[in-house]
Structure 1
Amino acid sequence: MDATVRNLGHLSPAVARLASSPHLLDGFLKVSGLFEATTLDPLAREVLILTVATRNACHICVAMHTAKLTGMDADARLIAALRDSRSLDDERLEAIRVFTLAVLETSGAVDDATLQDFFARGYTAQNALEVVLGIGAYTLSTLANRLVQAPLDDRLKPYAWHPQVA
C-alpha cells in the first residue's frame, strides 16, 4: 500500500478494500507492473484495460483508466468509444480491442484469421501473449473491485461511468 500511496499520492478506497487480502493486492500490483513493462505501447495497454473494464462492468476501473487516458492527452473520441464499447477509428488500436475481446470470448482459442488480422496491424506473437497477461491482470482487478464494491473517490467522480443496459 505504501507504493500505491507514493505512486498516486493517496490511498484510494478501492486499494484499501483490496488490501483486506494482502495476497490479492500484492498479486495484482506485481502482475499489473509486469504488464506495464511489456512491449505494448502505453496507449495500446490502456485500450486493453478499458476493454476489459467495460466488458466486466467495473465502474471504478473505467473511471480510473478514463482519468489515466485523459492525463495522457488521449483523444476524447477514443475515450468515449472505449467507454461505450464501440469500434475505434484508429485501426491499430481497434485491432488490440478486437483481439482482446476475441481472446476473452474464446478463452484464448482465437482462430487463425483473428490472429493474422492482429499481426497485420503490426503486432507480434509476443504482443499476443502480452494481451493475455493484461487480460489476466485486469480481470483480477475488475472482479475484485466489483466484489468489494469499490467506491469512487472524489478525484474519480468526474470520470464516473455506468454500464449500458442492453
Structure 2
Amino acid sequence: MSRRVFTAHTPDTAPAAARAAMAGIHRKLGHLPAAVALMAESPELLKGFLDANAVFETTDLDPVAREVVVFTVATRNECHLCVAMHTVTLTRHGGTPELVAALRTGTELPDRRLEALRRFTLAVLHHRGAVPDDEMDAFLAAGWQPRHALDVVLGVGTYTISTFANRLTAAPLDPPLAAYAWEPTAA
C-alpha cells in the first residue's frame, strides 16, 4: 500500500482535535511543517509528541545535550527530516560545525562529555534500556548524573515517536530545510 494513505492536513481539513496544536505550531514557526500536517491525522499522536517534547525540553539536560540525544535517535532511526531540522536547531543553540558534522555522520564527537552522552544514548537504544553496567559507569564517569540517564530515556521515547511517524508517513523536507538535507551513510 502506498504512503498516499496519509493526508497532509491543513487547519481546515485536520480533525478538530488537532487544529489548536497546528495553529500553535504555525504561530511559533511562521509556517506549518509537512510533518505536523501529516501527524495531524492522529490528533493524539500529534499531541503526544508535542507534550512529550515540551517535557523533554524542561529536563536537566542543557539544549546542546538534548540535541545530542535527538540527533543520535534521528540518525539511528534514519529520519532525514529530523536530522535536517535538528541541524538548524543545534546550530541555533551554539553547536559547532564540528559537533554538527560528527552527529550527522555518527562519528566520535569532539567533546568528551557529549561523546559519552551520544554513546549512552546509543546504548539505551541498542539494549532497549537494559544498559550494561560498564556503559552506565562510563556515562557517569564523564560527569553525567543518574537523573540524566532517565532524561535520555525520555528523549529516546519522544524522538522515537517523531522519527517513526515521519518515516511511516514519508514526511518530506520543508523547503527551508533543503540546504540541510541528510541521507544515511551506507553501513
**TM class by shorter-chain length?**
over 0.9
CA drift at 1:72: 2.2
Q: 1:24-103 counterparts in 2 under 5 A?
A: 24-103=45-124
Give CA-to-partner distance per residue, 1:18-45, whole Å, 9 cap, x none: 1111010000000011000000010000
CA drift at 1:141: 0.3
TM superposition score normalised by structure 1: 0.97
Partner Cα distance (1:114, 1:18) in 2? 35
TM superposition score normalised by structure 2: 0.87
Q: Which amino acid aligns with 1:40?
A: L
**Aligned residue for 2:144?**
123
Q: Which amino acid aligns with 1:94?
A: E
**Aligned residue for 2:34?**
13
Partner Cα distance (1:7, 1:83) in 2? 26
Partner Cα distance (1:4, 1:133) in 2? 22
Matched, 1:157 2:178: yes
Aligned alpha-carbon RMSD (Å):
0.8
Moved more, 135-144 or 107-116: 107-116
Size of the alignment, in residue pairs? 166
What SS does the corresponding residue of 2:50 show, helix, strand or coil? Answer: helix
CA drift at 1:79: 0.4
CA drift at 1:73: 3.0
Identity of aligned residues (%): 56
Rg: which structure is higher? Answer: 2
Contact kept, 8 Å, 2:63 with 2:93, in 1: the verdict is no
Note the residue ranges of structure 2 that are not aligned, 5 or more in a row.
1-21
